[in-house]
Amino acid sequence: MLNDRSTILSLLETRRSGKPRELVGPGPTPEELERILTIAARIPDHGALTPWRFVTVADDQRDALAALLLKALEEDNSEATAAHREKEINFAHYQGQLVVLVSAPVEGHKIPVWEQQLSSGAAGMNLLLAAHALGYVAGWVTGWRAYSETVRAAFCGPGERIAGFIFVGHPSRELDDRERPDLQAVAQAWTPPER
């Protein structure tokens, strides 16, 4: 059991994000993707509302995604250049598996929307961890696309939002590890208020 704990801790201590534009394929097999999403769904969910969804985009749907992004770009940015359009075509064709994480809170429920949004974020984090555990690298991005009404409408229902585009593949180079926060700056003991 001690070795299992050591392995799990090592997994948590070594997870890093990859830049989606730098990932290479192949992405996970259908069986691996099912396992990743099953693990991603094992998160805190107050009220068992499942206030999130995973939308997978297949390789043969990437041209359709590019067309959607170009349409949204034209609507959102009348001054978009050829370079902007090329960037969207490239984004749609990043290698690996694309999973769109959708935040789908249940409005008017006794569980606050904020808690439901946190649950969606936890699902995204579990997805990254599950991909890492299976030997993949994942990158979670948002950008203007996540906030475009045209793109949102293509993935979401009423009241839902895109929480992120998560690409799962392999690194094309050694991953850089970003500087992590100083624990002393982000963790502290509680001081009770004076009476």
- Domains, in order of start, for the chain: 18-59+95-172 (3.40.109.10)
When pLDDT is averaged across residues 186-194 and rounded to a whole number, the result is 94
Binned at pLDDT 50, 70 and 90, residue 108 comes out as very high
Q: Which tens digit of pLDDT belongs to each residue from 48-99?
A: 999 999 999 999 999 999 999 999 999 999 999 999 999 999 999 999 999 9
16 φ/ψ sector (left φ>0, alpha ψ -120 to 50, else beta)? beta
> For tokens 């370079």, what's the residue?
83
Q: Tell me the pLDDT band of 2, cut-offs 50, 70 and 90.
A: low
Average pLDDT, the chain: 95
| Chain centroid offset of residue 172 CA | 19
Q: CB within 8 A of 41, min separation 6: which ones?
A: 50, 123, 126
Question: Whole-angstrom Cα distance, residue 49 to residue 150?
Answer: 26
Q: Which helix (H) or strand (E) holds 161?
A: strand 161-171
* Residues 6+ positions from 185 with CB-CB distance below 8 Å: none
- Ranking 12-21, 72-81, 174-183 by mean pLDDT, the lowest is 174-183
* Contact (CB, 8 A) for 94 and 47: no
Q: Which residue has the higher pLDDT, 5 or 130?
A: 130
